[in-house]
Structure formats: C-alpha cells, structure tokens
C-alpha cells in the first residue's frame, strides 16, 4: 500500500503522537498532540469522535491502515499533473498565481479568499509570482516537498 520511505514517515509521526510511549494513540495522546500544534482547547467530544474512526485501539498497524483508507481516494500524481497541464499548454511546470487564484475562486467548488491565502501560505509562489504545480502535485501524492529530499 505504501512505499518503505512513506511507512518510515508514518512511523515517525506515530511516535511523535504516542506521547506516553505505550504503543497506542489514546485520547490523552491526541490532546497532547493538539497542544503541541497550538490548539489548546480541544473538547472531549471532538477527541472521542476522532477515536471512533478507528476500529479499535490505535496501534501503528491501525494508524497505517487508517491513513491508507484516507489516501485511497487520492488520484495518482500523473493524473493531477495532467489536470494542471490544461492551464499550462507550454508545459513550463508553473502557473501564474493570479491565474490560479482566479480559476479556483470562480469555477466549480469555489475557494474563498481565505482558502486561497491558506493555499499560498502552504505552497508559496516563487519570486515571479508563479505556482510550481509539479511540486504541489508531488506533495499531494507523497506528503513531502520533492526539493527537501
């Protein structure tokens, strides 16, 4: 289901979340993880809902299978790149940020201004104001920046 490098990354994430190091992620581990991310007031109901998504106690195997289920609907990298290529007939691998903003705010499931800004915060434009969509597609499908490898 996953490449070996991805499994290692999931293992590292699991280890970070398993604050008490008992081999399971429980409600206290989730609460501590949210606190570490700056979200201090997570309610018990929200944590319980998250834990209900698992078929049982969340050990690494369950954690991995839950991610597999969530990622199963993700299109292959090539499919996503081909969707971007519609807007990039010369195949440059980048799109003007203003053009992307226009398209995603005016077509289909329209983004809000805040959602666009959030996207550009997570995937900044280059100095020329372009979005490197090939790198974006890589991150969507692999979970990390290609240049960081």
Q: Rounded to a whole number, what is the distance in angstroms from the first to the last CA of the chain? A: 21
pLDDT tens-digit readout, 54-85: 988 999 999 988 877 766 656 677 888 888 88
The class that CATH gives domain 4-71 is mainly alpha
- 52 three-class SS: helix
What's the confidence (pLDDT) of residue 143? 65
Count CA atoms within 13 Å of residue 26 on its CB side: 7
Confidence of residue 32 (pLDDT cuts 50, 70, 90): very high
Q: Which of 68, 66, 48 is nearest to 2 (CA)?
A: 68
pTM given for the model? 0.49
Q: What is the mean pLDDT of the chain?
A: 86
CATH 1.10.238.10 domain residues, the chain: 4-71, 77-142
pLDDT of 130 higher than 70: yes
Map tokens 């226009």 to a residue: 102
Q: For residue 81, report the phi and psi dihedrals to the nearest 5 degrees.
A: -60, -45
Measured N-to-C along each axis, helices 27-36 and 4-17 cross at an angle, to the nearest 10 degrees, of: 100
CATH number assigned to the domain covering 77-142: 1.10.238.10
List CB contacts of 74: < 8 A, sequence separation 6 or more.
Answer: 140, 141
């Amino acid at each position: 289901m996953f490449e070996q490098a991805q499994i290692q990354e999931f293992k590292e994430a699991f280890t970070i979340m398993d604050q008490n190091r008992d081999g399971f992620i429980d409600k206290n581990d989730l609460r501590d993880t949210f606190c570490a991310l700056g979200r201090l007031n997570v309610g018990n109901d929200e944590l319980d809902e998250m834990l209900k998504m698992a078929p049982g106690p969340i050990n690494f195997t369950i954690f991995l299978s839950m991610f597999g289920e969530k990622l199963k609907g993700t299109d292959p990298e090539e499919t996503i790149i081909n969707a971007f290529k519609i807007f990039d007939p010369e195949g440059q691998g980048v799109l003007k940020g203003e053009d992307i903003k226009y398209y995603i705010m005016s077509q289909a499931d329209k983004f809000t201004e805040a959602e666009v800004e959030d996207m550009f915060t997570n995937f900044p434009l280059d100095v020329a104001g372009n979005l490197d969509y090939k790198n974006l597609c890589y991150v969507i499908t692999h979970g990390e920046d290609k240049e960081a490898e």
